Amino acid sequence: MSFITDPFALEFMRLALVEVLLLAVPAGLLGAHVVLRGLAFFTHGVGSATFPGLVLAGPVGLPAQLSALGAALIFAGGVERVSRSTRMAYDAATALMLVAALGLGVVLASDVFESGAGVDQLLFGTLIGLSADDVALTAVAVGLGVAGWAVFDRAWLAAGFDAATAPSLGLRVVLADWVLVVVIAASVVAALDAIGALLVSAILVLPAATVRLGAPSVRALQAGAFALAALEGGFGLLVAYQLDVPAGPAIAVVAGTVFAAAALTRALARRAPTGRRRKVAVL
């Protein structure tokens, strides 16, 4: 048990664990909608699209998280607008806006401003270097996400399963979709300090994608994704501490491994003869 308890006797590990548990909330509540609505690429794109905002933060004199949030909201709003106004597929609109954002970031970093170490830190995360203020900021962002989910969850579900008939139920689908992309963007920015812009999918997408392989309902998907994100985050912290590796990439490797194992198990179960599956079920 000392393998588990000793690392969390350290304050920075306790703060990291609190951060992981906070991020597990949007991983469950919002991650379920991300995988059901096919927004995994968009979620990853939001993280990468914060790059120009991170480059601008230092020279302009803005807090990095605030600048990143501005870039994320511009990206999210641009994707939503382009997709609706041109009837372009959401992943295509995401790719279009992401190329523009990354191109702008590279130009700013190489020809206009000098990107500092803070940019690298937010691109790859520093989970075991968080302060109490960072955790408090994450708590605020998570609270906004929970509030959005409480108000619009029914509309998100209806739009995800049958967008054509959702308005007939009195649901404001367009507003709900705008809120969804905004709270996803806010959750991504909240995860920057911990996981990094390039690895946000490890905690906001992969747990939900893993649980979806066997979840019998949306509520089970949300609860399972929350629990799995918390477990993978805690275990990733232990791996990072014991092996002296960055925590964000460690969590990403753990989450990717669990997803691969779950997908392989499901594929093997589907290939098993019907009679054998029934025998196992009876036993």
pLDDT per position as a tens digit, 19-39: 999 999 999 999 999 999 889
Nearest to 27 by CA among 166, 222, 212, 159: 222
As a whole number of angstroms, the distance between CA 114 and CA 111 comes to: 8
Confidence grade of residue 278 (pLDDT, cut at 50, 70, 90): very low
Task: Give residue 224's pLDDT.
Answer: 96
Q: Worst-scoring range by mean pLDDT, 49-63, 87-101, 252-266?
A: 49-63
Least confident of 1-10, 66-75, 183-192, 195-204: 1-10
Position 277 pLDDT exceeds 60: no
Domain residue ranges of the chain, discontinuous segments joined by +: 2-282
Pick the CATH number of 2-282 from 1.20.58.220, 3.40.50.720, 3.40.50.1370, 1.10.3470.10: 1.10.3470.10
Contacts of 139 (CB under 8 A, 6+ apart): 22
Q: Whose CA is closest to 267, among 219, 213, 200?
A: 213
Contact yes or no for 59/235 (Cβ under 8 A): no
Residues 6+ apart with CB under 8 A from 90: 38, 39, 42, 79, 83
Exposure string (b/e) for 167-199, b if CB count within 10 Å is 16 or more?
eeeebebeebbbbbbbbbbbbbbbbbbbbbbbb
pLDDT at 30: 93
Q: What is the reported pLDDT for 279?
A: 47
Give the pLDDT band (50/70/90) at residue 127.
confident
How far apart, in whole angstroms, are the C-alpha atoms of residue 94 and residue 54?
19
Joined tokens for residue 170: 């009195």
Mean pLDDT of 132-158: 89
Mean pLDDT score, 98-104: 88
| Distance between CA atoms of residues 176 and 154, nearest Å | 9
List the single range of 65-69, 97-101, 165-169, 270-274 with lowest mean pLDDT: 165-169
- Structure token digits, residue 280: 């196992």
CA quadruple 91, 93, 99, 102: dihedral positive or negative? negative
DSSP 272: S
91 closest CA partner among 81, 83, 102: 83
* Overall average pLDDT of the 96-117 stretch: 76
pLDDT-derived band at 280, boundaries 50, 70, 90: very low
The pLDDT value given to residue 255: 94
Of 31-40, 167-176, 216-225, 255-264, the range with the lowest mean pLDDT is 167-176
